[in-house]
């Protein structure tokens, strides 16, 4: 027996570690005060952070004004102006949120765009569940998108007809993003396959398309859609502005998604292609049954990240005057009585974008961890 | 037989099969599908082209780039080269390109510095620093850039007017007309000093290289910093002194309703720059973080075992390896920043998109206007990716 066991009386409890080595104190010492430099940084940042948070709470809650009186349809914003920026004027959001969310859609019909937004969110949630990742997604998308079209336009089932010029706000943002993805994704798969094709003419066409689109900013494509597109079409044939912007976004998204899909096609081991050939499968059988199911699974997380990018990029239609969420926010403060309260409006609009993008980004991170589970040791 | 190619069976080429005019021949099918696809695309392009030609004729829209030499008549607020509204469209567009390059170059430099700092901060062992950096990255990446630009521009506009301008430091004015900072009256001596500064950096680099080569031979470390200080700081100061040491400062001052003198940073430029830099820095931070994490933990431990300090570990061991992972995504972030600078049109900074758009509206020549925008961006994108590919190849060469 060694000395250690001799010195320990039989039956006594093992001694616990010193209080400074475990528990919250140890955590503080390791993560906040591990040295003089770390301590100094913690103290300075802590001070600045506390001041900033207190300032923000003062501005956003303590000194804020949540509503103002309205006389003869004109908001009386004197109270807000007397704050001189020391408090937020959330009254602009209280007063204008219906306009920012739904634009100039007829006021008594606002339940329709609201229902459309809920349908979109439900569609996203269903598509994100892995047990729906099969053929069932196609009918689900077709039915939901048709229902959305019926709700927005109306004209049947006793719903009054609402022309497209009166749509606006959040539904427009969601329409641009969702329809953009729904059409750009199949396009991108075709282009990615074409770029890896052994047929030279098809390969050249796909490379040209992807590289030209990726070399120019989205704005130039949107300008093209708004001023050049009418020149492309025969006389008398006209496509409305929203559809033109939608086409520009589809072409743009298609090129970027094609590169993501191509990365998946390249990441697949060569043996998979060779095995499929050895089975005597035709090109489309090989692609449809062997290659794409594996390649697309590999690139789902970067695909979601690219989709976040497009969701944000739909806000660029502001520049060609389409009434999306951001344009509605910007228009809400054109009214003289609300001028100067841009910060509050942009915080409100920003929060909506943040909720959507943050949810998608968390989903993509979770998915990445789950799909990589077999690689973890 | 260790070498497979030595086996004569592998050197034999497959026999050339004659092209059979049959659906069963794969090559014939390939040619058929190519003809179909090219035919469809060609028909669509031809259809659009003939429509466009017809429409241009009907609407009597002029074509060609003749308008470039006509008088522009559009005012431009800020310009790097001298410009008057009486100048040609060509010169106006050149001003636009220079303005785009100005914000892109300054933006890329600042975004790289800030992004790298945030990326490293996110890996800090200090809990507070890491969490704040993480919060910044998450929030900024989830908000549209256009929204952020409008936000910053609103903040710039809500600053007090020139008469009540804020004065954080003597001589610096902050108002809704932008920043006013004192400017040096530029003379030849300053140009010479700037050249001497560049020469000093080149000489220091050469000296450091020679010192390293000698150290490789005899193992003796040589101090580089005294020579560096003498060359980088001493040389320009000496040049400036020899040329008469001119030192005249142009202070901004309030005259009537606006400022005179000094250097102006316009609110549009400032809002655009802040928006682009904060947005791109968040993406660069993620790239830098992923790059540093890609270096295996063993490299850190081995470097620490050699007795290097944590700064040296980062500089000498980790960064050279991380850079290989960082450079390709960094390139696409630089390209994105340059392309995103086109959002300037939304807040009224006159970059190439804004000026080409005005040109297009004044002349009615939509096709040419958009072609110019696309050509400029394609050129810039191509130049940046060529340079970054060259740099990437150079870094990759270090690997043996």
- With an 8 Å Cβ cutoff, is B360 touching chain A? yes
Q: Following CA atoms B140, B143, B144, B145 in sequence, which dihedral angle do they give, to the nearest 10 degrees?
A: -20
Any idea which of A58-62, A149-153, B234-238, B389-393 has the lowest mean pLDDT? B389-393
The residue with tokens 């082209």 is B49
More confident residue, A60 or A311: A311
- Provide the pLDDT for residue B377: 92
Q: Do A31 and B127 touch (CB under 8 A)?
A: yes
Segment of A104-118, A233-247, B61-75, B201-215 carrying the highest mean pLDDT: B201-215
Q: Where does the pLDDT of residue A257 fall: very low under 50, low under 70, confident under 90, or very high at 90 and above? A: very high
CB B343 within 8 A of CB B358: no
Compute the radius of gyration of chain A from its Cα atoms: 28
Q: Are A315 and A371 in the same domain?
A: yes
Confidence class for position A375, pLDDT limits 50, 70, 90: low
CB of A221 closer than 8 Å to CB of A251: yes
| Cβ-based burial of A265 (10 A; exposed 0-12, middle 13-18, buried ≥19) | buried
Which of A24, A220, A346 to mutate against chain B (most B CBs within 10 Å)? A220
- Give the SS3 label for residue A110: coil
Cα separations in angstroms, B200 against B196, B205, B208, B234, B298: 6, 9, 12, 9, 38
Classify A30 in phi/psi space as left (phi over 0), alpha (psi -120 to 50) or beta.
Answer: alpha
* Range B61-75 average pLDDT: 77
- Domain range annotation of chain B: 89-144+276-397
Same domain, A89 and A33: no
Instruction: Select the residue of A30, A233, A350 nearest B147 (Cβ to Cβ).
Output: A350
What is the CATH classification number for the domain harbouring A302? 1.10.3720.10
C-alpha A49/C-alpha A58 separation (Å) is 14
Question: Which chain B residues touch A49 with a CB distance below 8 Å?
Answer: 128, 132
**DSSP annotation string for A4-73:** HHHHSPTTPPPPPPPTTTSHHHHHHHHHT-SSHHHHHHHHHHHHHHHHHHHHHHIIIIIS-B----EETT
Q: Please state, in angstroms and rounded to a whole number, the distance separating the CA atoms of residues B1 and B11.
A: 14
This model of the complex carries an ipTM of 0.86
The whole domain housing A39 covers 17-61
Q: B residues 98-137 near A, CB within 8 Å?
A: 125-129, 132
Q: Report the range of poorest mean pLDDT among A83-97, A167-181, A197-211.
A: A83-97
Residue A35 and residue A124 in one domain: no
Distance CA B159, CA B156 (A): 6
Is residue A10 situated within a structural domain? no
Contact A52/B at CB under 8 A: no
Residue A360 to residue A311: CA distance in whole angstroms: 10
The mean of the pLDDT values for chain B is 84
CB B377 within 8 A of CB A221: no
**What six digits make up the tokens of B206?**
């050469």
User: Cα(B350)–Cα(A218) distance, rounded to whole angstroms?
Assistant: 18
What pLDDT digit, counting tens, does each position of B108-128 carry?
Answer: 999 999 999 999 899 888 889
Q: What is the pTM of this model?
A: 0.85
Q: Which of A302, A303, A298, A304 is nearest to A356 (CA)?
A: A304
Would you call B132 and A49 a contact, using CB atoms and an 8 Å cutoff?
Answer: yes
Alpha-helical (H) ranges within chain B are 8-11, 26-58, 89-122, 127-141, 145-157, 188-218, 225-229, 235-242, 267-294, 297-305, 310-312, 319-340, 352-363, 366-397
User: Among residues A97, A91, A28, A164, which one has the least CA distance to residue A349?
Assistant: A97
In terms of pLDDT, which residue wins out, B271 or A93? B271
Q: Does B30 touch chain A (CB under 8 A)?
A: yes
pLDDT band at residue A1 using 50, 70 and 90 as cut-offs: very low
Residue A255 pLDDT class (50, 70, 90 cuts): very high
Residue B310 has pLDDT above 70, yes or no: yes
- Do A54 and A123 lie in a common domain? no
Element (H, E) at B255: strand B253-255
Residues counted in chain B: 400
Enter the tokens of residue B166: 């804020």
Average pLDDT, chain A: 84
**Residue B23: is its pLDDT beyond 80?**
no
Tell me if B33 and A217 make a contact (CB, 8 A cut-off).
Answer: no
Q: How confident is the model at residue A10 (pLDDT cuts 50, 70, 90)?
A: low
Band (B39; pLDDT cuts 50, 70, 90): very high
**A178 CB contacts (<8 Å, ≥6 apart)?**
A120, A123, A145
Cα–Cα distance, A329 to A364 (Å, whole number): 29
Q: pLDDT-derived band of residue B232, with 50, 70 and 90 as boundaries?
A: confident
Q: pLDDT value at position B109? A: 95
Task: Give pLDDT tens digits for B334-352.
Answer: 989 999 999 998 888 888 9
pLDDT given at position B8: 67
Question: Domain B89-144+276-397 - what CATH class?
Answer: mainly alpha
Buried/exposed A171-181: b ≥16 CB within 10 Å, e otherwise: bbbbbbbbbbb
In a shared domain, residues A101 and A137: yes
CB contact under 8 A, B30 and A198: yes
Are A243 and A353 in a shared domain?
A: yes
- Which of A:308-327 have CB within 8 Å of B? 308, 312-313, 315-316, 318-319, 326
Return the pLDDT at B46: 92
What percent of chain B clears pLDDT 90, i.e. is strictly above it? 28
Inform me whether the pLDDT recorded for A7 exceeds 60: no
pLDDT tens digits, A157-184: 777 887 777 888 899 999 999 989 889 9
Residues A212 and A341 in one domain: yes
Span of B15-24, B299-308, B384-393 with lowest mean pLDDT: B15-24
pLDDT of residue A6: 53
Q: Quick one: average pLDDT of A275-279?
A: 91
Whether A66 is in a domain gets the answer no
Q: Are residues A344 and A230 in the same domain?
A: yes
Average pLDDT rounded to a whole number, residues B186-202: 86
Question: How far, in Å, CA of A321 to CA of A327, rounded?
Answer: 8
Task: State how many domains chain A has.
Answer: 2
Residues A27 and A140 in one domain: no
* Cα gap B321→B326, rounded to integer Å: 9
The pLDDT of residue B282 is: 94
Q: Do B378 and A313 touch (CB under 8 A)?
A: no
- Residues A331-347 pLDDT 10s: 888 887 777 788 888 99
Averaged pLDDT, B179-205: 85
- Rounded to an integer, the average pLDDT of B70-88 is 80
Same domain, A24 and A113: no
Q: B87: which 2 tokens?
A: 């100048």
Name which of A53-57, A81-85, B150-154, B175-179 the model is least confident about. Answer: A81-85
Q: What is the mean pLDDT of residues B247-261?
A: 74
Q: Which residues of A touch B340 (CB under 8 A)?
A: 217
Cβ neighbourhood burial of A157 (10 Å; 0-12, 13-18, 19+): exposed
Report yes or no: A136 and A205 within 8 Å, Cβ to Cβ.
Answer: no
Rounded to whole angstroms, the Cα distance separating B82 from A15 reads 81
First vs last C-alpha separation in chain A: 39
For residue B2, what pLDDT is reported?
Answer: 47
The pLDDT of A96-124, averaged and rounded, is: 85
Tell whether A27 is covered by a domain.
yes
Asked if B144's CB is within 8 angstroms of A313's CB, the reply is yes
What is the DSSP track for B26-80?
HHHHHHHHHHHHHHHHHHHHHHHHHHHHHHHHHTT---SSGGGGSB-----S--S
pLDDT at B4 over 60: no
Task: State residue A374's pLDDT score.
Answer: 66
Residue B136, pLDDT > 50, answer: yes
Highest averaged pLDDT of the listed ranges B6-20, B271-285, B321-335? B271-285
What's the average model confidence in pLDDT over B131-146?
A: 93
Closest A-chain CA to B347: A319
Q: Could you tell me if A112 and A218 lie in one domain?
A: yes
On whether both A26 and A125 belong to a single domain, the answer is: no
């Amino acid at each position: 027996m060694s000395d250690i066991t001799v010195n320990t009386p039989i039956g006594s409890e093992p001694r616990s570690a010193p209080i400074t080595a475990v528990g919250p104190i140890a955590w503080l010492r390791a993560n906040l005060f591990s040295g003089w430099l770390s301590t100094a940084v913690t103290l300075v940042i802590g001070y600045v952070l506390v001041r900033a948070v207190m300032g923000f709470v003062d501005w956003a809650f303590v000194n804020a004004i949540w509503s103002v009186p309205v006389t003869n349809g004109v908001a009386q914003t004197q109270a807000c102006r007397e704050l001189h920026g020391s408090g937020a004027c959330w009254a602009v959001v209280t007063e204008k949120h219906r306009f920012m969310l739904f634009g100039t859609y007829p006021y008594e019909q606002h339940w329709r765009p609201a229902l459309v937004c809920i349908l979109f969110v439900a569609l996203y949630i269903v598509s994100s569940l892995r047990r729906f990742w099969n053929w069932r997604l196609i009918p689900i998308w077709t039915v939901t998108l048709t229902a959305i079209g019926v709700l927005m336009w109306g004209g049947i089932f006793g719903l009054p007809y609402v022309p497209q010029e009166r749509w606006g706000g959040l539904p427009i943002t969601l329409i641009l993003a969702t329809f953009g993805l729904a059409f750009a994704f199949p396009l991108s798969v075709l282009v990615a396959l074409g770029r890896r094709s052994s047929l030279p003419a098809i390969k050249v066409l796909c490379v040209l398309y992807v590289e030209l689109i990726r070399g120019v900013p989205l704005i130039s494509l949107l300008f093209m859609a708004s001023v050049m597109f009418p020149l492309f079409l025969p006389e008398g044939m006209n496509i409305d502005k929203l559809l033109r912007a939608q086409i520009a976004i589809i072409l743009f998204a298609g090129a970027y998604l094609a590169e993501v899909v191509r990365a998946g096609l390249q990441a697949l081991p060569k043996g998979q292609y060779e095995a499929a050939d050895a089975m005597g499968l035709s090109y489309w059988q090989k692609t449809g049954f062997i290659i794409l199911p594996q390649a697309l699974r590999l690139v789902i997380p970067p695909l979601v990240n690219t989709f976040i990018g497009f969701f944000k990029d739909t806000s660029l239609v502001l520049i060609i005057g389409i009434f999306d969420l951001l344009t509605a926010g910007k228009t809400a403060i054109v009214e003289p009585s609300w001028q100067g309260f841009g910060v509050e409006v942009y915080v409100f609009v920003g929060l909506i974008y943040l909720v959507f993008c943050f949810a998608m980004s968390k989903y993509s991170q979770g998915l990445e961890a789950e799909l990589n589970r077999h690689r973890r040791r | 037989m260790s070498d497979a190619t030595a086996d004569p069976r592998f050197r034999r080429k497959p026999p050339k099969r004659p092209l059979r005019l049959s659906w069963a021949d794969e090559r014939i099918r390939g040619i058929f599908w190519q003809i179909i696809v090219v035919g469809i695309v060609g028909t669509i392009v031809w259809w659009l082209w003939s429509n466009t030609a017809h429409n241009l004729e009907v609407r009597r829209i002029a074509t060609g780039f003749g308008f470039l030499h006509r008088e522009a008549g559009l005012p431009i607020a800020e310009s790097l080269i001298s410009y008057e509204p009486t100048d040609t469209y060509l010169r106006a567009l050149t001003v636009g390109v220079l303005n785009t390059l100005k914000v892109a170059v300054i933006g890329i430099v600042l975004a790289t510095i800030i992004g790298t700092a945030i990326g490293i901060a996110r890996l800090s062992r200090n809990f507070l620093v890491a969490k704040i950096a993480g919060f910044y990255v998450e929030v900024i990446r989830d908000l549209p850039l256009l929204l952020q630009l409008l936000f910053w521009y609103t903040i710039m506009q809500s600053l007090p007017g020139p008469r009540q301008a804020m004065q954080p430091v003597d001589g610096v004015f902050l108002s809704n007309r932008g920043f006013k900072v004192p400017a040096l009256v530029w003379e030849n001596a300053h140009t010479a000093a700037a050249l001497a500064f560049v020469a000093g950096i080149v000489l220091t680099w050469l000296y450091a290289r020679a010192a390293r080569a000698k150290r490789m031979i005899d193992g003796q470390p040589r101090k580089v910093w005294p020579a560096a200080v003498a060359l980088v700081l001493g040389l320009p100061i000496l040049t400036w002194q020899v040329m008469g040491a001119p030192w005249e400062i142009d202070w901004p001052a309030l005259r009537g309703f606006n400022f005179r003198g000094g250097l102006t940073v316009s609110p549009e430029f400032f809002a655009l720059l802040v928006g682009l830099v904060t947005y791109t820095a968040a993406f660069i931070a993620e790239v830098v973080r992923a790059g540093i994490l890609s270096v295996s933990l063993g490299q850190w431990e081995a470097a620490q075992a050699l007795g290097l300090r944590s700064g040296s570990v980062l500089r000498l061991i980790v960064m050279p390896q991380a850079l290989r992972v960082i450079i390709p995504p960094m390139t696409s972030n630089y390209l994105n920043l340059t392309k995103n600078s086109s959002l300037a049109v939304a807040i009224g900074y006159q970059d190439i998109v804004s000026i080409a758009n005005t040109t297009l509206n004044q002349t009615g020549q939509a096709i040419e206007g958009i072609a110019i925008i696309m050509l400029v961006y394609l050129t810039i994108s191509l130049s940046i990716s060529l340079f970054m590919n060259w740099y990437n190849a150079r870094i990759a060469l270090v690997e043996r």
